[in-house]
Amino acid sequence: MLNTQSPIPLYHQLADLLTARIRAGEYGVGDRIPSEHQLAAAFGIGRPTVRQAIDVLVRRRMLVRRRGSGTYVAEADHEVDLFSLAGTTSAFQGQGLTVDTRVRRQIKRVVVKGDSDNPFDGGEAFFFSRRSLVDEVPVLIEDLYMHPELFDGIDRLDLEGRSIAAIAAERYYMRPTNGRQTFRIAYLQDARARDLGVAASTPVLAVKRYLNFPQAENAIYAELFCRTDQFVFSQTIGGLADE
């Protein structure tokens, strides 16, 4: 039951209690939960408090409201570890998903200018861009920059559908040791927006990723643009695990 003496707001307590029931299977996917009136009567609280609790779980995508019908347990979001050192392809596959990764811009050696966040700024790098789709729906665009000496000859490889982490390990005998990434909200324009299947007004998650190898720091730099309406992208706190 709810504790009226607790400093935790009642709506938050109710949201936690409903979450526990969903996770325990008391309310299964697609099940209708009790109405606001029923929950208010069961817990001796007002309907506005119940509505606040349900709003929390709707924002968490655990519940979904259906106009004129009620509130139902939503299908669980797929969660993809956005900082898997084994690579984004492995992160999708780890969830049992078949990801189709296609090259958007073919790899070539370029001069990087005017981007202070890019560790190759003022020098050269191998660059290419790719798009990942799940069930034919685009979910992720990656623009990758790679150390020109450490990855010498990569521009002669067929990268279509291949894991960059696997290529680094199998062909170049290199595995990342650690890295870092930053997050922000971005709005895409033109080709990127079309390729990701979003409007210019749709916010996406933009990530800048830096991977360190024993041979060199920041040997791979990537800019990722992720559709959060399709997946929950996560990052484990407390350390990195090389899968």
pLDDT, position 240: 42
Same domain, 19 and 110: no
Same domain, 35 and 121: no
pLDDT band at 241 (very low <50, low <70, confident <90, very high): very low
Segment 194-206 shows an average pLDDT of 92
pLDDT band at 7 (very low <50, low <70, confident <90, very high): confident
Same domain, 15 and 103: no
Same domain, 68 and 176: no
Same domain, 29 and 136: no
Same domain, 188 and 121: yes
- Lowest mean pLDDT, pick from 2-11, 88-97, 122-131, 165-174: 88-97
Structural domains in the chain (count): 2
- Whether pTM > 0.75 for this model: the answer is no
Whether residue 243 has pLDDT greater than 70: no
Q: Quick check: is 69 in a domain? A: yes
In SS3 terms, the chain reads as CCCCCCCCCHHHHHHHHHHHHHHHCCCCCCCECCCHHHHHHHHCCCHHHHHHHHHHHHHCCCEEEECCCEEEECCCCCEEECCCCCCHHHHHHCCCCCEEEEEEEEEEEEECCCCCCCCCCCCEEEEEEEEEEECCEEEEEEEEEECCCCCCCHHHCCCCCCCHHHHHHHCCCCCCCEEEEEEEEEECCHHHHHHHCCCCCCEEEEEEEEEEECCEEEEEEEEEEECCCCCEEECCCCCCCCC
- The residue out of 40, 73, 106 marking a domain boundary is 73
pLDDT band at 8 (very low <50, low <70, confident <90, very high): confident
